[in-house]
Chain A
Amino acid sequence: MVSRVVNIRPDDLLLVSTVRNEKVRLPWFLRYYRDLGINHFLFVDNDSDDGSREYLAEQADVSVWATSAGYKRSRFGVDWVNWLLMRYGHGHWTVVVDPDEFLVYPFCDTRPLRALTDWLDASSIRSFSAMMLDMYPKGPISQHPYREGQDPLEIANWFDSGNYTMTRNAAYGNLWIQGGPRARMFFTDNPERAPALNKIPLVKWDRDYAYVSSTHMLLPRGLNLVYDEWGGEKASGCLLHAKFIDTFTQKAQEELARKQHYANSHEYRAYQEGMAASPDFWCKWSEKYINWRQLEILGLMSKGNWA
């Protein structure tokens, strides 16, 4: 464990993440979020043996905790994240993302994250929605090897623009969003098993809050009301999910062997089968990523009343 939390100042923007053998992704990840204006990173390292922990420990704006407990036993990392947030997140705007998730919000090319959180503060908004958008390359995934330090969105720069469905989860009040390339490719027979894409990764944290399941939903329930019910649009962003780059095939096998992942590894088993056949998500209606304005026009995210 390397803790630099004493350096955290009262209004710092914090980022919390769990990693396992993500060394190759970390340099770009840190760079991306430093550029957005994250002041301090809090990592949980789940038993990496690829040097992730050592790399993180060297970074001046990073604190890292090590664990070798099972991912599943900790409810897919949520317990670790909640613990860190409770200890260090209180009163801060906090971003909770995985190392393959890149937050995009309205005006993110001209305004730092602090501009957004200031505006959210002024608008008395405590939580900000950013739906997960699965990104993929054109052609088989193995065709485009990823170099450490490279922007993964240079490779995985296509997405599905309009095949998402949503329902309201009565128990927690959140929306349950499914769809995208994974549903289209791997879950055509059992769509109810397709992964959830709704995420609320940006929250003005309070020690009384908790993530319930990954960052899909929160308690208290009011934090999940990131959508307008009277016809209007609230401001929202997207989490560009650059999971599908060439480390994936190996990783899926690894995860399956460990049988640690979500829902009895249904998801990963489906990937395995799908990937073995033809690991190409691209279709002629795939959309090539340009910028947040494009996502806004497509209706995947919204400026709300932020102008």
Chain B
Amino acid sequence: MSVGFVMLCHTALDRAAQVARHWAERGCPVVIHVDRRVKRTAFDRMRQSLEGVADIRFSTRFACEWGTWGLVAATQAAATLMLRDFPGVRHVYLASGSCLPLRPVQELVAYLDARPRTDFIESVTTEDVGWTVGGLNIERFTLRFPFSWRKQRHLFDSYVRLQRRLGFRRRIPKGLVPHLGSQWWCLTRQTLSTILESPDRAEHDRYFRRVWIPDESYFQTLVRQVSANVESRSLTLSKFDFQGKPHIFYDDHLQLLRKSDCFVARKIWPQADRLYRTFLSDDAGGQASGEPNPGKIDRLFAKAVERRTKGRAGLYMQSRYPRANWENGMTAAPYSVFEGFADLFENFDIWLGKVAGTRVHGHLFAPDRVAFAGGETVYNGALCDAPALRDYNPRGFLGSLIWNTRGERQCFQFGPGDRQKIAPFLARDPNAQISVISGAWAVPLFHANANFGEIRKQAARLQKIEAAHLEVLRAADAKAKVRIWTLAEFVENPMEPLQTIIDEISPRSLRRLTEAPRMADLTGFGQFLQNLRNQGMQPVLMGDFPAGDDPRPLTTRRGRPYLVK
């Protein structure tokens, strides 16, 4: 027999016993270590349940608090017992009580027989590990850790800080190069016995007794002294999440585990009946294929960690409510805001929807109602057109809209006549593409059938609001993609800016605009502005429209002002 298992157990002893029996009955000796903190009665029950099974031993019990020397001491004692009592064993496999074999034992035996001198142990220099939690790599070997990380976290942390400040360093014994790695290894008799019987063992043990988490470094470091044939990986599939605690396998992982072709997996939820039933039966496995291939499982867990640490961009929900600047995407997708366009062009939303092939809303933040595209009263996600609901939480409203429609770019109109509370959010959102024709709000006023006194009042109000808004858009912390033209500039040459905006909205179409939207009639607009001036108001945001000198390109080419081809 070539492989023997050392099992470190502390909970779910019934499951551990089940696995131990499985291995032992298939000819692999098992040495079981049970944490000394486990109650006597539970321990006795486990012993009894395994009575009569040949080739199972129980080793001297040590207290195994996580991160302490006890785990190494337990491993040493159990491994020594294994080597002594089972001379036929060539590889010793270190497993835990929550491990489960995924492939028949014969396949593991065959695999190891084909590699009789190979030591399977993840062993990485401290500079190269990226997975340690708490930033302690080399410091595990050079600081002292008298306090329990689990029970005295505060003392633990402050003592580490103190030592750093004082520049305290322990001396690493001569000849040792610190290595770290998974504690679940499989070593050859030669290698293991050399470590355990080394003349320097007392010195090594004395040193490692005070190293932090020695079970991830003792054998991983010493194996480099004695073995010429280290295969730096673990045969046990064991994944850790971002807090450094192992991922747990459940019944619904059955297919993934089966396809992983790994020999042993941890950690299994003790009540995963289906996993235990399936993998501990003899017809498990079957389609044996050489090398373990945990890629799929790796990806699954990597995704889970990403979900926990980064989350989904633009999502605000019960368990994701990022602080300012931690949103990782203030909204879920890019969107476009058009200011003044609907005032200058007739049926701008219909035109835009056609050329950009996307959803174009009216004024979403209009005071009287939410102008969803197509005049809908309810929209994606059952968003409601009631203005009070929207104004109750404008950010939430916009965030929901963009989230609900992800995959389909949203465009909407905005202007000084709208509710302004959302504006600072728009300006800060890198997903917002904001295009402004400043002063365009004067065009509908110009066409309005209203008393001039009223018009003048409106103009003053809108100009004040828009001026403040432009200031927000131009602020240093604005992250939106903002483009601002005065009405005069835009009227002079409308096609180029339109083309730029459309290209950004649908970059793949790469079509040249052939049809311009229909511009409102501006004949007499200069005089209109002059009238405002004469009434004591100062219209500035629309740029320069000399009175009596109407914009020429408009009058001559109305409807089809420009053709860029």
Residues of chain A whose beta carbon lies under 8 Å from any beta carbon of chain B = 107, 110-112, 114-115, 118-119, 122-123, 129-131, 160-168, 175, 177-178, 181, 183-184, 187-192, 198, 226-236, 283-287, 299-307
Contact = CB atoms under 8 A, between A and B. Distances in A.
Given A162-B380, A188-B386, A227 B392 contact: no
Contacts of B45: none
A302 B304 CA distance: 10
Interface of B: 241-243, 245, 247-248, 250-252, 269, 271, 300-301, 303-305, 307-312, 315-323, 326-328, 378-384, 386, 388-389, 392-393, 396-397, 400, 403-404
Contacts of B327: 231
A62 to B, nearest CB: 24
A306 B243 CA distance: 12
10 contacts: A163-B384, A167-B393, A191-B389, A226-B319, A227-B317, A232-B308, A233-B311, A235-B319, A287-B382, A307-B247
A131 B320 CA distance: 12
A138 B397 CA distance: 25
Given A129-B319, A236-B319, A110 B250 contact: yes
Contacts of B378: 184, 283-285
A119 B247 CA distance: 9
B63 to A, nearest CB: 20
B388 A166 contact: no
Contacts of A229: 321-323, 326
A114 B392 contact: no
B373 to A, nearest CB: 13
Nearest to B300: A307
Contact of B271 (A112, A183, A284): A112
Contacts of A163: 381-384, 389, 400
Contacts, number: 179
- Chain A contact residues: over half helix, strand or loop, or mixed? loop
B540 to A, nearest CB: 37
- Which of A118, A236, A305 lies at the interface centre, i.e. has the most chain B CB atoms within 10 A of its CB? A305
Given A130-B318, A184-B378, 16 more contacts: A118-B269, A123-B245, A160-B381, A161-B404, A163-B383, A166-B396, A189-B388, A191-B386, A227-B318, A227-B320, A228-B311, A231-B327, A233-B308, A233-B315, A235-B319, A299-B403
A52 B309 CA distance: 46
A295 to B, nearest CB: 10
A110 B303 contact: no
Nearest to A282: B382
Contacts of A301: 317-319
Contacts of B248: 118-119, 122
A40 B400 CA distance: 39
A299 B382 contact: no
B318 A305 contact: no
A233 B252 contact: no
A232 B309 contact: yes
A229 B318 CA distance: 11
Nearest to B406: A299
A57 B322 CA distance: 46
B153 to A, nearest CB: 11
A234 B320 contact: yes
Contacts of B252: 107, 110-111
B395 to A, nearest CB: 8
